[in-house]
Amino acid sequence: MVEITDHQSQQFRDEGYFILERVLPHEVLESLRRDCSGAIREMNRRIDAGDPTVSSINHRDQRYFIPFRYEESSVVRTYVFSDLMAAICRATIGDEAYLFLDQHVVKAPGGGMRFGWHQDSGYVGFEHTPYLTTWTALDDMDERVGTIHLLPFSRAGGKEVTGHIREEGSNDMIGYFGDDPGITAAVPAGSVVVFSSLTFHCSGANQSDRWRRSFLAQYTPAPQRSPEGKLTQRAEPFLRGGQRVARL
């Protein structure tokens, strides 16, 4: 059982992130890798078939965002509702937690596209309660494979959601235009980078000859609804009063 320290919880509040290195058991890591490979094959099939529901930020053989795997994969469902994720949620957003979004985030070898500086909250489009992002490294991560960079609150100028603009070509939403390179998450496979939806982050292109695979899971402290009352993404109950209520 991984325990989140008081220092890590405070760093999340003060700077918007912390990192847990090598916390996934080998068998969990391997099962997530296998699920990712199958998800890429299915996404390629959908792209080739012209599926209109495929997100515009997916680019075949370059970059993939494959969401809602927990609805199809018992491996992913077990992971997003695991003891590890419960501990992270309690230490960051508290004793009430709902699964908001999960997805494989992948960059192909030899130039898999970068992803520009943004806050996850910058994609929401309306006022909301900040939420939690967990980014699990399924491969060893460094600058060459295009790992993520994080901009601490103290270096970003605050904790507020800023205006984002859509970048032509990539369809990325961009919200930071400074020259601070941020903190590079050079971490081994099986590590988890934990950050706030208010934390600016980006990632470079994959300039290596190997895949760069990661898995993202996000949690909100309450169901997130638009001003019109429409549910945004998902709101699968995970924790109530600190106790796990999700079905595995």
Pairwise pLDDT comparison (248 vs 155), residue with the higher score: 155
Q: What is the mean pLDDT of residues 214-240?
A: 94
Q: Are 207 and 27 in contact (CB under 8 A)?
A: no
Give 212 or 113, the one with higher predicted confidence.
Answer: 212
Superfamily, domain 6-244: q2cbj1_9rhob like domain (2.60.120.620)
Rounded CA separation 146/101 (Å): 22
Whether the predicted pLDDT of 172 surpasses 80 = no
> Residue range 114-142: average pLDDT?
90
Mean pLDDT check: name the lowest of 48-52, 76-80, 198-202.
48-52
pLDDT of amino acid 112: 61
The pLDDT of 72-97, averaged and rounded, is 97
- Percentage of the chain beyond pLDDT 70 is 98
Model confidence band, residue 218 (pLDDT cutoffs 50, 70, 90): very high
According to the model, what pLDDT value does residue 132 have? 98
109: Cα separation from own chain's centroid:
20
- Pair of tokens at residue 123: 């994609």
Whether 23 and 32 have beta carbons less than 8 Å apart is answered as no
Residue ranges per structural domain of the chain: 6-244
Above 70 in pLDDT, residue 100?
A: yes
Mean pLDDT of 135-157: 95
Residue 113, pLDDT > 80, answer no
State the pTM of this model: 0.91
